[in-house]
């Protein structure tokens, strides 16, 4: 960024930039939805890039909601426990690949800038702020530089969130004191508009969550994972894992890890484990497995007091206990008598191939 324009001190005015009312019942105008929130761990060099929503408050402050357990939340706790303000850069408009990385459950200790650079196979060029000491992308359209101070809160919310509800009612949340704004001429502000699923954001989240849960299963030592899919209507709440069973307890191991790992644990509601003949992306296959290979009395485990947030519509508005329960469902053939489980009534690959060779694909309307 060439610092084409700068506002500092008394000249800072967030009202110079568009802040849309994305949903008719939002509690305010959200200037940050498809943006980057850049912070740094106070005890290391780990730079985190998140996408925590940002509501315009006044000329030089914006309320921020960071869900419990998120990396930004954990480092905010560290700063506040030592009565220190947390420096922060906000980027409104940048390379969409960086926003994609910021929306992924990237492992602790890894910067989303590095993650994005790996995907692009070239480093993300950054500039270090002399106000916050934090980096921001060189291609940034708008950069807000400031800090979040311990004990300072303002009303924030509600906001139409990704589960499809105006979850998290109006509440007192921290806010960013903006010290300087850097922006290009005619800057482009990027937005993301969550709503009742499925929509574009849920597809993105389905893809990224599925990949990261699969990776965490393998890192945890769960073998023979053949597929993972977080379904679009519930991209955090409804996850299906397909495995090839190799030993007693394999199904439960896969279900527990997928339901509680960092990538899959946040607000999870249902984790379903299926055999490797079930395509986890096909809801018809999943429902068939649930209907024919799951004995509810024996094959559904309930986990309690699990990681959730105020965005969970099933948490009572008066509750401050941001935990939920979740079901881990075994929808696989019983391991003990798997070899004697009834065969699937479908055409074998060999017979299908022989028939197609004999009559030709066109006979069956196939190309």
Burial of 80 (0-12, 13-18, 19+ CB in 10 A): middle
CB-based contacts of 32, cutoff 8 Å, min separation 6:
52, 53, 54, 55, 62, 64, 90, 92
- Cβ pair 332, 274 in contact under 8 A: yes
- DSSP bridge partners of 36: 91
How long, in residues, is the chain?
Answer: 367
Q: What's the DSSP call for residue 216?
A: H
Residue with tokens 């910021």: 102
Written as six digits, the tokens of 191 are: 């937005």
Burial of 247 (0-12, 13-18, 19+ CB in 10 A): exposed
Q: Rounded to an integer, what distance in angstroms lies between the CA atom of residue 310 and that of residue 225?
A: 32
> How many CB atoms are located within 10 Å of the residue 120 CB?
13
Question: 200-340, what's its fold?
Answer: UbiD C-terminal domain-like (3.40.1670)
Nearest Cα to 36, choosing from 92, 88, 107? 92
- Cβ pair 64, 54 in contact under 8 A: yes
pTM for the complete prediction? 0.90
Burial of 184 (0-12, 13-18, 19+ CB in 10 A): middle
CB-based contacts of 337, cutoff 8 Å, min separation 6:
none
pLDDT at position 201, please?
84
Q: Give me the numbers of helices (H) and strands (E) for the chain, helices first please.
A: 9, 16
Residue with tokens 């004990």: 151
pLDDT at position 2, please?
55
49 alpha carbon, distance to own chain's centre: 13
Q: Rounded to an integer, what distance in angstroms lies between the CA atom of residue 245 and that of residue 338?
A: 9
What is the rounded (10 degree) CA torsion for 231, 233, 236, 238? Answer: -60
Written as six digits, the tokens of 44 are: 């290391």
Nearest Cα to 334, choosing from 251, 213, 227? 251
Domain boundaries, the chain: 5-183, 200-340
Handedness of CA 309, 101, 273, 200 (dihedral sign): positive
Q: Rounded to an integer, what distance in angstroms lies between the CA atom of residue 29 and that of residue 267?
A: 26
10-residue averages of pLDDT along the chain (367 residues): 83 95 95 96 96 96 95 96 98 95 93 96 96 97 98 96 88 97 95 88 90 97 98 92 98 98 95 98 97 97 95 90 96 97 93 88 77
pLDDT at position 131, please?
96
- Cβ pair 123, 101 in contact under 8 A: no
Question: 5-183, what's its fold?
Answer: Pnp Oxidase; Chain A (2.30.110)
Q: Rounded to an integer, what distance in angstroms lies between the CA atom of residue 124 and that of residue 142?
A: 17
Report helix, strand or coil for 156.
strand
Q: Rounded to an integer, what distance in angstroms lies between the CA atom of residue 324 and that of residue 321?
A: 9
Handedness of CA 258, 261, 264, 265 (dihedral sign): positive
């Amino acid at each position: 960024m060439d610092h084409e324009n700068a506002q500092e001190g008394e000249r800072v005015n967030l009202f110079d930039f568009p802040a849309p009312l994305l949903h008719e019942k939002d509690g305010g105008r959200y200037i940050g939805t498809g943006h980057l929130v850049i912070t740094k761990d106070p005890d290391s060099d780990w730079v985190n890039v998140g996408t925590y929503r940002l509501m315009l408050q006044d000329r030089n402050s914006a309320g921020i909601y960071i869900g419990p357990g998120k990396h930004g939340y954990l480092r905010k706790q560290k700063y506040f426990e030592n009565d220190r303000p947390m420096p922060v850069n906000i980027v409104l408009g940048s390379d969409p690949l960086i926003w994609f990385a910021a929306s992924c459950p990237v492992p602790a200790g890894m910067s989303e800038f590095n993650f994005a650079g790996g995907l692009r196979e070239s480093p993300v060029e950054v500039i270090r702020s002399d106000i916050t000491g934090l980096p921001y992308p060189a291609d940034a359209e708008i950069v807000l530089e400031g800090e979040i101070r311990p004990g300072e809160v303002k009303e924030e919310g509600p906001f139409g969130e990704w589960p499809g509800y105006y979850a998290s009612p109006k509440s007192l949340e921290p806010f960013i004191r903006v010290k300087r704004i850097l922006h290009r001429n005619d800057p482009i502000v990027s937005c993301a508009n969550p709503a009742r699923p499925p929509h574009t954001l849920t597809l993105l989240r389905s893809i990224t969550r599925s990949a990261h849960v699969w990776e965490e299963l393998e890192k945890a030592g769960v073998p023979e994972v053949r597929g993972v899919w977080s379904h679009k209507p519930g991209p955090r709440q409804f996850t299906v894992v397909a495995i090839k069973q190799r030993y007693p307890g394999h199904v439960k191991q896969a279900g527990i890890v997928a339901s509680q790992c960092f990538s899959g644990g946040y607000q999870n509601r249902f984790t379903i484990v299926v055999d490797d003949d079930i395509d986890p992306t096909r809801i018809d296959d999943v429902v068939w497995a649930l209907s024919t290979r799951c004995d509810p009395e024996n094959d559904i485990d309930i986990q309690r007091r699990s990681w959730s947030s105020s965005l969970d519509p099933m948490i009572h508005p008066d509750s401050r206990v941001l935990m939920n329960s979740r079901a881990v469902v075994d929808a696989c053939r019983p391991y003990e008598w798997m070899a004697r489980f009834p065969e699937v009534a479908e055409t074998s690959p060999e017979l299908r191939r022989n028939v197609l060779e004999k009559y030709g694909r066109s006979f069956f309307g196939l190309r």
